[in-house]
């Protein structure tokens, strides 16, 4: 049965790969329209499905440009949200970047024009847009998850690649995320593999560093509050293994962890079930990610308090080179006023 399943996925992989190559060739050869904007554009994306840490990277970039005095605006498709609702990534970014305009629109050209027109933004930051090639961009930053950098070597549905690894050639910068979770030898091997396709791209390594515990009401506590204590954890993200390893690195004693699908929408019944589960475990706290916490709008009914582990992206290698690529865009944006 497993052999038949693999054979079926292999058959489906061919048409998907062909469709991706055909689409990219249309843009590469100028047969598909690429729309220029009046302001610099930076895109953040990846070539694999699942979580690579785009939201922390977008947050870091938005803060960096804001610190340079640039009026930056975010544009995303709003993937994972039901009609009339806001995606979990957008909710998380709104909480962390309350002063940065963020437009969600399936038509990203329209969204980008809106963030320029209505919010007077002078630089557009495109979230999860590496494969969205309709908007001309000045810099493509592609994230590579250190825990699964190659998408199992195959495009969807046989693997988790959105496009072949050769797509890295379009990147101006490659950022290895969760770099702290693999050895220096493994990081070097990934870098060499990437260099086969993107020899001129700026190479950046970054960690997702837990900073504190944060409640739904905005209260913050140091990580040491629960260090060495029994906790329960849950998440609905693209890379639960990364969250599990982050918890271990903080020194928490994880009694049990529940994993849900990426972009999982928690219902009242789900919250009640999680509260009963954690009560039975007799833990000192219940932990989730910020992406999960923003979707839990009801008061937490469990005996142990619910906290999100708030993390920040920290660049450990290549920051000067990345800033050298970003600085001319910031100067152009400020000159547009």
Report domain 210-311's class.
alpha beta
Tokens of 247: 């918890």
**Superfamily of domain 33-208+314-335 in the CATH hierarchy:** P-loop containing nucleotide triphosphate hydrolases (3.40.50.300)
Pick the closest to residue 49 from 134, 150, 132, 139 (CA basis).
150
Walk along the chain (337 residues) and give the pLDDT tens digit of each residue: 434 344 445 556 778 788 888 998 999 898 999 999 999 999 999 999 877 788 899 999 999 999 999 999 999 987 655 555 677 778 888 888 999 999 999 999 999 999 999 999 999 999 999 999 999 999 999 999 998 999 888 888 888 899 999 999 999 999 999 999 899 999 999 999 999 999 999 999 999 889 999 999 889 999 999 999 999 999 998 888 889 988 999 999 999 999 999 889 999 999 999 999 999 999 999 999 999 999 998 899 999 999 999 999 999 999 999 999 999 999 999 986 6
Q: For residue 132, give every residue at least 6 positions away whose Cβ sits within 8 Å of its Cβ, in sequence order, or none.
A: 43, 45, 77, 108, 126
Q: For residue 49, give every residue at least 6 positions away whose Cβ sits within 8 Å of its Cβ, in sequence order, or none.
A: 151, 156, 160, 161, 162, 238
Q: Domain ranges for the chain, please list them.
A: 33-208+314-335, 210-311
Q: What is the pTM of this model?
A: 0.88
Same-fold call for 33-208+314-335 versus 210-311: yes
């Amino acid at each position: 049965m497993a052999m038949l399943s693999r054979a079926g996925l292999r058959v489906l992989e061919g048409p998907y790969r062909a469709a991706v190559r055909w689409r990219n060739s249309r843009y590469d050869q100028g047969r598909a329209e690429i729309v220029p904007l009046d302001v610099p554009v930076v895109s953040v994306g990846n070539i694999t499905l699942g979580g690579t840490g785009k939201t922390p990277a977008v947050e870091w970039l938005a803060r960096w440009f804001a610190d340079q005095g640039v009026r930056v605006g975010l544009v995303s498709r709003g993937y994972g949200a039901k009609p009339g609702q806001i995606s979990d990534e957008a909710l998380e970014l709104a909480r962390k970047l309350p002063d940065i305009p963020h437009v969600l629109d399936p038509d990203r050209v329209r969204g980008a024009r809106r963030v320029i027109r209505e919010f007077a933004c002078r630089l557009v930051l495109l979230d999860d847009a590496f494969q969205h090639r309709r908007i001309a961009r000045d810099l493509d930053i592609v994230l590579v998850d250190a825990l699964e950098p190659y998408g199992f070597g195959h495009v969807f549905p046989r693997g988790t690649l959105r496009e072949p690894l050769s797509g890295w050639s379009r990147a101006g910068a490659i950022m290895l995320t969760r770099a702290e979770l693999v050895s220096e030898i493994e990081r070097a091997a990934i870098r060499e593999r990437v260099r086969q396709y993107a020899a001129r791209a700026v190479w950046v390594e970054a960690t997702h560093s837990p900073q504190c515990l944060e409640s739904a009401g905005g209260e913050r506590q140091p990580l040491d509050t629960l260090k060495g204590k029994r906790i329960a954890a849950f998440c609905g993200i693209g890379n639960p293994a990364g969250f599990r390893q982050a918890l271990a690195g903080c020194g928490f004693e994880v009694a049990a962890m529940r994993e849900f699908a990426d972009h999982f929408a928690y219902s009242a019944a789900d919250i009640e079930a999680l509260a009963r589960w954690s009560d039975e475990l007799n833990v000192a706290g219940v932990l989730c990610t910020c992406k999960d916490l923003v979707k839990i709008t009801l008061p937490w009914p469990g005996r142990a308090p619910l906290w999100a582990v708030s993390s920040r992206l920290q660049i450990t290698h290549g920051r000067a080179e990345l800033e050298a690529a970003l600085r001319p865009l910031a100067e152009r944006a400020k000159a547009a006023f």
